[in-house]
Amino acid sequence: MRVPLVRVMILASAISCCIVMASSTVPESLQSNKLTTDAESQEVLSPPRQITAYLGEIPGLINADGCGPFVELVKAIDRADPEVDIYIKVFPISRAMLGVSIGRADFGLPAIRNNATLNELPYRFSSTSFGFVTHVLYTHVDKPVTRAMLFDQAQTGRTFVIEAIPDYMPIPTEPSITIERSLLKLSYGRIDGFIWAQEEADMMLKKLKLTNIRREFFGDFEDVFVIQKGAAGDEMDAYLTRMIMQLKQTGELSQIYQTIHLSYNDWQP
């Protein structure tokens, strides 16, 4: 039996009305809850913020294969903040610092604070420090140069060729290409001195088995991060300050830093 077309149209209209009426009777609280749940779901599914860290290669502390105590420090920051993913890349030190300066990286390591040259640098240092690193002055046993002599160059008129990282030193220095190269140049008498962080330089000194090198304490400097100048640097500075404080409170920072730098060890090759 064929159902008249008019009856079909009336039945369809009635069903539509029932659906509309049923939807309009859903309590606003339930509708509101649904919207809140959707928003919460979107928040949970939001991807972590990506931060890029450029680390300058220092054998034993920042190795080319992406391991070492400084790398572990950055990984500890990454673990402490589930809302962030930190991507670590290892380069020669000069390239790592350049990457921060031009905005390819959010922060960099290693660095020691030197406010004397801050205005001349294309980057700046973090407000917070995570420790102190001892630097040693290495000179030739036959031509010893002391720390006092280096700071008196302007008064005495004597000048010395000292290799280090110029941006970090309170005295005029020439850039060191590698620790090994600088120590060998010093051993051959081609430069007057070499200034570097104790652990890294001592490790290479022992490896090379050089016995014509003299060691002297040069100074303790604050270990800091390198960050950009401007608003991006301000934001990263606040973030790193918060994360270092968190690692200090849990005791994890102290455990990691003991594998990075120690107080001055007075010995001679």
Query: What average pLDDT does the segment 228-233 reach?
Result: 96
Instruction: Check if the beta carbon of residue 29 is closer than 8 Å to that of residue 64.
Output: no
CATH number of 133-221: 3.40.190.10
Nearest Cα to 215, choosing from 191, 194, 189? Answer: 194
Share of the chain above pLDDT 70, in %: 83
Whether the per-residue pLDDT at 6 is higher than 60: the answer is no
Least confident of 27-41, 129-143, 169-183: 27-41
Instruction: Check if the beta carbon of residue 164 is closer than 8 Å to that of residue 176.
Output: yes
The pLDDT score that the predictor gives to residue 44 is 56
Nearest Cα to 169, choosing from 228, 117, 121, 122? Answer: 117
Q: Could you write out the DSSP letters of every residue in 196-244?
A: EEHHHHHHHHHHHT--SEEEEEEEEEEE--EE-SSHHHHHHHHHHHHHH
pLDDT digits (tens, 9 = 90+) for 84-132: 999 999 999 999 999 999 999 999 999 999 877 778 889 999 999 999 9
The pLDDT score that the predictor gives to residue 43 is 52
Q: Give the whole-angstrom CA distance, residue 125 versus residue 223.
A: 10
Domain range annotation of the chain: 49-130+224-257, 133-221
Please give the model's pTM, rounded to 2 decimal places: 0.75
Instruction: Check if the beta carbon of residue 239 is closer than 8 Å to that of residue 153.
Output: no
Record the tokens describing residue 34, joined without a space: 């649904």
Domain 49-130+224-257 in this protein, CATH class: alpha beta
Domains 49-130+224-257 and 133-221 share a fold: yes
Record the tokens describing residue 168, joined without a space: 């970090």
pLDDT digits (tens, 9 = 90+) for 163-186: 999 888 999 999 998 899 999 999
Q: Strand 124-125 vs strand 107-109: parallel, antiparallel, or unpaired? A: unpaired
Buried b (16+ CB within 10 A) or exposed e, 61-100: bbbeeeebbbbebbbbbbeebeeeebebebbebeebbbbb
The pLDDT score that the predictor gives to residue 45 is 60
60: helix, coil or strand?
A: coil
